[in-house]
Amino acid sequence: MRIPLKKSCSLLLLFAVQTVLAADRPNIVLLMGDDHGWDETGYNGHPQLKTPVLDEMASTGLRLNRFYSAHPSCSPTRASVMTGRHPNRYGTFAPNYSIRPEEITIAQRLKNSGYVCGHFGKWHLGPVKEASPTSPGEMGFNEWLSHDNFFELNPVLSRNGAPPQMFSGESSEIVISETIRFLKAAREKKQPFFAVVWFGSPHEPYSGLSKDLALYDDLPEEYADKEVRLTSNKTGRPTKRPLRDVLRERYSEITAMDRSIGQLRNWLKDEGLRDNTLLWYCGDNGTPGDGIVTSPFRGQKGNMYEGGIRVPGLIEWPSRVAEPMVSDVNTVTSDILPTLCRITETALPDRPLDGIDLTPLIHGKMKQRSKPIAFWSFDTKDESNNEPYIDMELQRGTTPLVKMMGDIHTRNFRNFHHPKIEPDDFSGSRVLLNNQYKLIVNSKRGGLVKRELFDVRIDPAETANLIDEKPNVTSEMQAQLQDWQESVLKSLTTADYK
């Protein structure tokens, strides 16, 4: 078939324009550790952990000292990355609560702008199977090799929604190897790429390669005197083990993850892609109770103190961050979508967002945050009385994992309609964090309300409750928090989809 000259020229012009755009627009890779808390890096002063790659990124790129996960647990935080919105707006309240199909994700936005999008590793926003309406494919990714939840050595993963298959080896190396394969294909097609790499490490139950375990043979002896509760790799059920043995395995997973990130950085450098590729690393929540021994903060995974929501945050983008920077501006996972939309000149979703654009910070021009960050662990006590948002069969997971839930080695998901707002819906643990103070409000449905106020700039360990000393500050922040909750609950009723 012969193509008319005019049409042929048009096609060549379009190809040339696309090639120029691809060269100008940055490639983007989002990296996330699973249960990786703020202090668990060498650059934040950990006394034992070896994280040379993250340390180098911190010393040459943009180090976000006050970076937060949108929630103190995994599924909600991951949803905030995808949407730029607080997860309570669409019922992703806790682990194993799915996202809603109507949500607009950063992958969908970038895919429509010409990016090729891939997801690798932990998904945890719904099943990854082909039939799922909230699989990575349905939420905007061209391809994926993913797990419904977390995974250990020799993970069992689903490629593009197909039946799961086992991959032999260290899990972080596997997902990075698959990511590099995807990036190679994108480069051959001269397309800018967007890759989301969500590691299964260092979530328990822990396991590691012998070479990584050997690095931590000399952990302090006093750790051996304490036992911690976690999952048995043999039975999938809870067990107790000496903290020293547990930390040896946990730290080996973090080091393996760190090394894998280095493999990705080296490939980008060798291929001449490093300068114009934005790498953004963070954790999804604070360190869990079986691993939190060195944190300078109060709290741990699952609560709203700094130890539960403050996580590592690093941006490396040599063409734009040419000199090392350290920022003490409050930032959060919800900021990722609006920032990437601005960087790629992609339109924001037309609905309420909770994150802000951080490009002024990347350019060294943001000294403080323009609006507070709000956090909220929704009280889900009565939620299961509502109508399921997605057919339960479509919410059944397929990818096995060691840790059992009930009598199954997989994970099923849930999400519920919430058509009517009741006064008790404002309960749960919620927080407003401004540039100086942090207000924490706790209550259960029908229960008493407890309030705490901390000046986290001078008291990062949250030891001095100022609630009685600063009544005006408390009152103003409480009103702001209430207004924000009203907006979130309105979204929860699906008002944003109409």
Asked if residue 330 belongs to a domain, the reply is yes
One domain, residues 43 and 111:
yes
In a domain, 19, yes or no: no
Contact between 257 and 41 (Cβ < 8 Å): no
> What share of the chain in percent tops pLDDT 90?
94
- Read off the pLDDT band of 337 (50, 70, 90): very high
pLDDT, average across residues 189-204: 97
pTM listed for this prediction: 0.94
Whether residue 457 sits in one domain with residue 365: no
The radius of gyration computed from the CA coordinates of the chain, to the nearest angstrom, equals: 22
Question: Do 42 and 152 sit in the same domain of this protein?
Answer: yes
Q: Which helix (H) or strand (E) holds 11?
A: helix 5-24
Domain boundaries, position 437: 376-389+420-497
Q: Say which CATH number the domain at 64 has.
A: 3.40.720.10
| Model confidence pLDDT, tens digit, residues 52-94 | 999 999 999 999 999 999 999 999 999 999 999 999 999 999 9
What is the DSSP track for 407-424?
TBSS-B-B-B---S--GG
Are the C-beta atoms of 416 and 386 separated by less than 8 Å? Answer: yes
Instruction: Round to whole Å and give the CA distance between 361 and 145.
Output: 33
Question: Do β-strands 67-68 and 331-332 pair in parallel, antiparallel, or remain unpaired?
Answer: parallel
CA distances from 329 to 63, 65, 326, 362, 366 (A): 10, 8, 9, 11, 8
Task: Categorize the per-residue pLDDT at 23 as very low, low, confident or very high, splitting at 50, 70 and 90.
Answer: low
Residues 87, 102: one domain?
A: yes
Does the pLDDT value for residue 4 go beyond 90?
A: no
Q: Structurally, how many domains does the chain consist of?
A: 2
User: Which is higher by pLDDT, 221 or 21?
Assistant: 221
Report the pLDDT value the prediction gives residue 3, as an integer from 0 to 100: 46
pLDDT band of residue 470 (cuts 50, 70, 90) is very high
Residues 161 and 63 both lie in one domain: yes
User: Could you tell me if 456 and 309 lie in one domain?
Assistant: no
Instruction: Please indicate, yes or no, if residue 146 is contained in any of the structural domains.
Output: yes
pLDDT, tens only, 296-316: 999 999 999 999 999 999 999
CA torsion 56→177→149→30, rounded to 10°?
Answer: 40
Q: Are residues 135 and 193 in the same domain?
A: yes
**Is residue 343 domain-shared with residue 445, that is, in the same domain?**
no
pLDDT at 10 over 90: no
* Claim to verify: residue 251 and residue 143 sit in the same structural domain: yes
Q: What is the pLDDT of residues 433-464, one digit of tens each?
A: 999 999 999 999 888 999 999 999 999 999 99
Cβ–Cβ < 8 Å for 51, 301: no
Chain segment 129-163, per-residue pLDDT in tens: 999 999 999 999 999 999 999 999 999 999 999 99
- If you average pLDDT over residues 183-198, what whole number do you get? 97
Same domain for 435 and 293:
no
> Does the residue 402 lie in any domain?
no
Per-residue pLDDT, averaged over 14-22, amounts to 42
Considering the domain architecture, whether residues 332 and 384 belong to the same structural domain is answered as no
**281 and 245 in a common domain:** yes
Q: Taking residues 97-116, what's their average pLDDT?
A: 98
